[in-house]
Amino acid sequence: DAAQARARAIERAANDEIETLRGALRAAREATEMERASISVCEAKRARERAEEEQRTRRKLAEALTDLEQARRAEGEARAREEDVMAKCVEMMEARDEQIRRARDLAATQIRAAEDDAARDARVARNECSDAKRQLSEAETAAESALLRAEAAVNEERRRRLHAEEEAARLRREARSAKVDALSPIPTGQRDRRQHPQPLSQQPRATSAAPVEGFGGYDDAERVRRQLAELREHPAARVAAEAFHDVGGGGGGGGGGGSDRVR
């Protein structure tokens, strides 16, 4: 009986221990289940977080790729604009160089034309001054010749008048002598032999010198002198002489000598 009681006591103790172990096992299973549930929740949370993070990363990556594409597109457009601007700058520089070259050619052409015009004008001025000097010299020579002819005509006129006065005095003396002879008694024989004086209409007249062509006396001489003085004092003659002296190198000495010679 004691052995059965011990056996029953041992069995009860074993059963109690088994129940205790079963309770601990259930508690462990429950804790494990709870831990598994917690792990599942954590894993789900982590999975959601990873998914959200991956989505955010993908969005950021897509945005970055979009920005990169836009940046590349903007860079390409900027390069295209830069190339266009450079091409336009090159065209403008070439056009400017062409304009500068044309302007230089035009300026050189205009300068050559101006130099040719100036040389032609200088030649024309020299020719005009030479013509003016020649005309002035010819005019002075003509005036000098006219003055000499006038002086010669004046001298001839003086000689002619002096000769006419002498002839008139001689005729008056002969007339008085003829009158005295007519009033005095003359023998008949001597009267026939006496030479009767010729009438005044039949007596030879004093021949005057041939008139100078283009000269009419003292008035013409004075007129020639006045014209010569006006010719010397004319502004055009002085300007022509000065211009010829400046352009031709002082060749107006001959004309001045002629003027001094005429004076």
pLDDT of res. 185 = 57
pLDDT of res. 16 = 87
Count of residues making up the chain: 263
- The tokens for 44 are 């789900």
pLDDT band for position 205 (50/70/90)? very low
- The tokens for 109 are 């052409």
What residues have CB less than 8 Å from 215, skipping those under 6 apart?
149, 150, 153, 221
Specify the DSSP class assigned to residue 250: S
Whether pLDDT at 261 is above 50 = no
Place of tokens 């009860």: 12
Torsion angle of alpha carbons 28, 29, 34, 38, nearest 10°? 90
Whether pLDDT at 237 is above 50 = yes
pLDDT in tens, 102-111: 999 999 999 9
Q: How far is CA 2 from the centre of its chain?
A: 152
What residues have CB less than 8 Å from 214, skipping those under 6 apart?
146, 149, 220
Separation of alpha carbons 221 and 157, rounded Å:
11
Specify the DSSP class assigned to residue 251: -
3-state SS, one letter per residue, for 211-248: CCCCCCCHHHHHHHHHHHHHHHHCHHHHHHHHHHHHHH
Query: Quick one: angle between helices 235-248 and 218-233, nearest 10?
Result: 50
The answer to whether 133 and 257 have CB atoms below 8 angstroms apart is no
Enumerate the domain spans of the chain: 129-194+205-262
Separation of alpha carbons 171 and 201, rounded Å:
11
pLDDT in tens, 10-50: 888 888 888 888 888 888 888 888 888 888 888 888 888 88
Residue 201 phi/psi, 5° resolution? Answer: -70, -25
pTM: 0.35
Separation of alpha carbons 7 and 5, rounded Å:
5
Give whole-number Cα distances, 199 to 168, 170, 174, 178, 202, in Å. 14, 14, 10, 10, 5
pLDDT of res. 98 = 93
The helix/strand/coil state of 205 is: coil
**What percent of the chain lies above the pLDDT cut of 70?**
69
